Amino acid sequence: MALSGIQIYKLLPQTNCKDCGFPTCLAFAMKLAAKQAELSACPHVSDEAQTQLAASARPPVRLVTLKANGNEVKAGNETVLFRHEKTFYHKPGLFARVRDDASDIGTTIAAADAYAVNYVGMDLTLDGFAVESTVDAAAFEAAIGAVRSASQRPLILISRDPAVMEAGLKALDGEAPLIYGADADNWQAMAGLAKQYGAALAVIADSLDGLAELAEQIAKTGVENLVLHPATESLSKGLALCTQIRRLALKKNFQPLGYPILAFPGHEDAGIESVRATQAITKYAGFIVLDHYAPEYVYPLLVLRENIYTDPQKPIQVQPGVYEINDPKPESPVMVTTNFSITYFSVANEVEGSGLPAWLLVTDAEGMSVLTAWAAGKFDAERIAKSVKQFELPDKVSKKVIVLPGHVAVLSGELEEELPDWEVRVGPREAVDIPSFMKQAL
Amino acid sequence: MPVDIPKDKWPGEVRTVTLGAAAANGGTRGSVVAVGGEKALPFMHFETDTPHRPALAMEIMDRLPEDWSPLLLEFWGDTAKDPAVWAKAAEDAGADLIQLQLSQTGADGNPTTPDAAVAAVKSVLAATGLPLIIFGPGQADVDNELLVPVAEATKGERVVLGLCEDKNYRTIVAAALANDHLVTARTAMDVNLAKQLNILISDMGLPLERVLMDPTTGALGYGIEYGFSVMERLRLAALQGDAMTQLPMIVTVGYETWKTKESKVGQDVPGEWGNWLERAINWETMTAMTLVESGADIVVLRHPESMKRVRAAIDELMTVPE
């Protein structure tokens, strides 16, 4: 049973020595209660207290980190079932799978490794690769070598044969890969390998009962970094099992299932695979192995992952102000938008893409999109006029043409009153139509 | 190790809303569609049964759309020139419902007349046996001018009239009340705004069994996380017993996704975006799937390939695991 912050505080030394990195023992206790700190950060805690706190100090979903050559992928440490309750913390790692009988592995991996797509100012990439054995130990080792020559990202190694797995692990040096995996028949040998090579271990079972039992058996051997692979052959079964695992971990602090989940949405039909991967991203997967990773599949998945794992308490905003696009002159038009970052990037990209110079006035709408901000009273004529003055646009422009987003055409009359010496124009509703509007109408 | 599975028991449930009326109930529909009725979070078959599957609507227009993605115009081709032909094609493509979007102006550039709107709606009703959702052009005075005669001309069909918004709902609700129709209530991604509008509509005397709510969503990459979370919160509130949130949710995924640059534009976009058509289908399909996971009861789409994929996913989600 989880302890409250006060209960935990009573078990701590209460010296406020700050060695844990927090200002007081009480502050540290509160962080422990919120599962946002580890007890090991306190060097002075008594053995007795340690035993009592062990159960409550362990995060309900263990943080598992895969490492390779300076790159890391983390999953776990989640604290909520729904992102609005707090946030989801660790974006599920996306891994592209290759089989060891594939031809030209190096080229395939090099292309996938180099893939990076820009989304609202961020470069999004895959996190690593999964190498699957289908032939023998020698082929597996060779395939891993080929992958390593093309990418330094973390790996998932796939084979149920401990001898093959060991050959694969030997091909990696000083890494912490995920090995897949341990089932009812091979778990002792696989657990031995995980310990020997410092790998995380995937646990495979058809039922939740079987999964919990196997995970607990393996944990007793001292392997701490486990990842669960429940049977997810249909979307409804996968959804039920992943939800149950998350609930058991968070609500019951049920440690045998307190680990990140591994999902294999792979399907011969890439479109179906995307649908399955969508469920994995929205509903609790920690690591996701993809079989199709052409850009038209990877790009939307990377964006979805970014969206779902955005902290709801911190809307992604840009700084309000005047942004100069394509080297504007005094006679260039002023385009208005809000400081919600998706809105800003959509508009800025289109204005830039038009090749025409403009001043982009980004108003402080508390990080809301145009329509949402307008509905909430955060984007109106008064605020826009205030921004025009605050950011000294009258000193920058001579032509004084200001363009409103089409969705708030209704504001044009009021804005004309607020800015009597400006010409107020109404632009398109959608950013995508900005270039043609600028070419034709401005 | 026997694991005790935690099951949620909720005091509340979502109302069941039936779209369309067959001959026995005063309409002419060949099929009717019931949505809602959930007593648990989506597809939690281990807690309770899911009475109705999410329904899929295909969006069509009363005339050839000018601003739709070239991919959609290419796919529908001449079909899109006649709403009746288009509606039939949408039915053949597997839609459960047709959403007819009325345009602001006719092909000649003049404002759409009430007579033209009524004629378009009637031709669609004659061409398909599916229940109908009818949206006005989206400007309050025009919506009211067109939707009132449409409601009168289709009395008894239990069509859904949209959109009711906080600044314009009275006329549409009155038209639905007088003619045995339903309405859809749209608010801007906010739980309290949604509740407030449902209260206002309910106060006019329209039973909530005739109201759908549209919490608005953003497309993938354009604010989907707001829609996703508002829908999860609305559904949790409904299950906790908040009567004014116990309405089925409709989301206009086709409209939201096909206006994004990813779906609308094929040239001069980054190479990292990949194949245009497949990307656009994924955009629509994945947006729909994300919202189905958060409780959508009706998903409006524009491309039949997306509908095929979302339908296959819903089939799987509705299959009770052993």
Per the DSSP assignment, residues forming a β-bridge with B60 are B100
Using an 8 Å CB-CB cutoff, list chain A residues near B69: none
The structure's pTM equals 0.91
| B47 reaches A (C-beta below 8 A) | no
Nearest by CB to A274, which of B225, B271, B285?
B285
Average pLDDT over residues B157-183: 96
The ipTM (two decimal places) reads 0.97
Structural domains in chain A, CATH included, are 5-57 (1.10.15.40), 64-308 (3.20.20.20), 321-441 (3.40.50.11600)
CB < 8 Å to B235, chain A: none
Identify the bridge partners of residue B308 per DSSP, sorted by sequence position.
none
* 3-state class (DSSP) for residue B185: strand
Amino acid at B281: I
Question: From the CA of B44, how many Å to the nearest CA of chain A?
Answer: 6
Task: Going residue by residue through chain A, which has 442 residues, state the pLDDT in tens, using 9 for 90 and above.
Answer: 467 888 889 889 999 999 988 999 999 988 888 877 888 888 898 888 887 777 666 789 999 999 999 999 999 999 999 999 999 999 999 999 999 999 999 999 999 999 999 998 899 999 999 999 999 999 999 999 999 999 999 999 999 999 999 999 999 989 999 999 999 999 999 999 999 999 999 999 999 999 999 999 999 999 999 999 998 889 999 999 999 999 999 999 899 999 999 999 999 999 999 999 999 999 999 999 999 999 999 999 999 999 999 999 876 788 999 999 999 999 999 999 999 988 998 899 889 888 899 999 999 999 888 988 998 899 999 999 999 999 999 999 999 999 999 999 999 999 999 999 999 999 999 888 899 999 998 8
Please report the number of interchain residue pairs, chain A to chain B, with beta-carbon separation below 8 angstroms: 181
Q: Which residue of A has its CA nearest to B187?
A: A375
**pLDDT tens digits, A375-392:** 889 999 999 999 999 999
| A234: nearest CA partner in chain B | B316
Q: Is A300's CB within 8 Å of B271's CB?
A: no
Look at residue A55 in the predicted model and tell me its pLDDT: 64
In this structure, which CATH number among 3.40.50.300, 3.20.20.20, 3.40.50.2300, 3.30.470.10 belongs to the domain B16-318?
3.20.20.20
How much is the pLDDT for A426? Answer: 96
Domain boundaries of chain B, sorted by first residue: 16-318
Q: In what order do the strands lie in the sheet with B211-214?
A: B211-214, B182-186, B160-164, B132-135, B97-101, B55-61, B298-301, B250-251
| Chain A nearest C-alpha distance from B1 (Å) | 5
pLDDT at B231: 98
Provide mean pLDDT across the span B198-224: 96
Is some CB atom of chain A closer than 8 A to the CB atom of B167? no
- Check if the beta carbon of residue A285 is closer than 8 Å to that of residue A262: yes
How many alpha carbons fall within 13 Å on the CB side of residue B62? Answer: 29
Longest Cα–Cα distance in chain B: 72
Longest dimension (CA), chain A: 81
Subunit contact A119:B221, Cβ cutoff 8 A: yes
Query: Is B319 in CB contact (< 8 Å) with chain A?
Result: yes
Contact B45 A254 (CB under 8 A): no
Which residues pair with residue A204 across a beta bridge?
Answer: A229
Q: Are A308 and A83 in contact (CB under 8 A)?
A: yes
pLDDT for res A2: 64
Point out which residues pair with A200 in neighbouring strands: A178
Question: Quick check: A278 and B273 CB within 8 A?
Answer: no
Average pLDDT taken over every residue of chain B? 96
Average pLDDT over residues B13-34: 97
Q: How far, rounded to the nearest angstrom, does the alpha carbon of residue B217 sit from its chain's CA centroid?
A: 11
Tokens of B286: 């994945």
B92 Cβ contact partners less than 8 Å away, ≥ 6 residues apart: none
Q: What is the C-alpha separation between A400 and A388, in angstroms, rounded? A: 11
Q: pLDDT value at position A316?
A: 77
**For residue B80, pLDDT beyond 90:** yes
**Pairwise CB contact (< 8 Å): A342 & B274:** no
Give the pLDDT score at A46: 86
pLDDT for the residue A38: 81
Q: Do B225 and A310 touch (CB under 8 A)?
A: yes
Distance from CA of A109 to the nearest CA of B (A): 16
Helices (H), B18-133: 70-76, 83-92, 114-127
Does the pLDDT value for residue B262 go beyond 90? yes
